[in-house]
Structure formats: structure tokens, C-alpha cells
Amino acid sequence: MLPIFSNNDLELIANALEVIEPDDRGNRERSDELSTIFYQAMKDADHEDDAGKVFAKVFQSDRHGQIIAMKKTDDDEGKPEVRFFVEPEGAGVCSIAIGYEDDDEGHERCISFFEALDPATAGQSIKPLTDLIVNIDK
């Protein structure tokens, strides 16, 4: 079973991500500290929101390390999205999202995608982000 975050966990993650500064990129000690926060949140909580619905999943990838997928709404426009968080080698925690229209069909598509999300699909979903970071380093 994949770990799932509760509302409390989500707040811890959001707070942890907010404190990441550009100077933290590549800072292994800071990365380890954030990983500890994430794992503690997963260990201590029941991993479901108040309605018992899953809204975050964590995958472990040999190629990309930890991938966090979170079903949420876009902060600017309120549209449904699945946002992925990953820490590519040589970079800090980065995110990329797959967004949907803010209508019934868009919400249903977002929910369906998230429910079916597996490690392979999560890896493919972050590929544009990780490819961009690799090309920046060249």
C-alpha cells in the first residue's frame, strides 16, 4: 500500500516546501531534513483526509528517487490539477502539474487520472521537468 497524506500532513509538507530557498538547491543536509519531515508525517498520521479520500501518493523511483503526487487545485485559478514534487539530482525540490479545466468533466478527469496513478505514470509525468533540468546543466 502506498503512503497517503492527511490534511495535517499536507500542511507540514506545504510548510516545509515554503522554507526551501534557492540557496538550498543541492544542499544534501537540507534535503535530508525535508525527507525526515515527510516520512515522520507519513508515519504519524492516518494518511487520509477527513472524508477518507486519498489526495496524495508517494512513489519511490530508482531513476528519480521520491516522487510525491498531490491532487489539488491550482493556486492561481482554482483549476483541478495533479501536482508532482521531485528532487532531481543537482537541484532542489521542484514541481510540475497536469492541469484540467474547472468544469465537471475536468474534475472527473483529474480524479480518474489520480486514482489510476502508478509509479510508471508518475515517472512519465515528471519527465518534461527532469529533461529540462538535465538540459540546463549541459
For residue 92, give the amino acid letter. G
Mean pLDDT for the stretch of residues 72-79: 87
Instruction: Provide the β-strand partners of residue 84.
Output: 69, 96
* pLDDT score recorded for residue 91: 80
What percent of the chain lies above the pLDDT cut of 90?
36
Cell 538540459 found at: 135
Q: 71 or 47, which is more confident? A: 71
10-14, 72-76, 117-121 — which is least confidently predicted? Answer: 10-14
* pLDDT score recorded for residue 98: 94
10-14, 47-51, 96-100, 131-135 — which is least confidently predicted? Answer: 47-51
Nearest to 38 by CA among 17, 54, 61, 24: 17
pLDDT at 83 over 50: yes
Mean pLDDT for the stretch of residues 95-113: 94
**59: part of which helix (H) or strand (E)?**
strand 56-61
What percent of the chain lies above the pLDDT cut of 70?
59
* pLDDT score recorded for residue 46: 40
pLDDT at 112 over 80: yes
Please list, in sequence order, all residues whose beta carbon lies within 8 angstroms of the beta carbon of residue 87, skipping any fewer than 6 positions away.
31, 65, 66, 93, 94
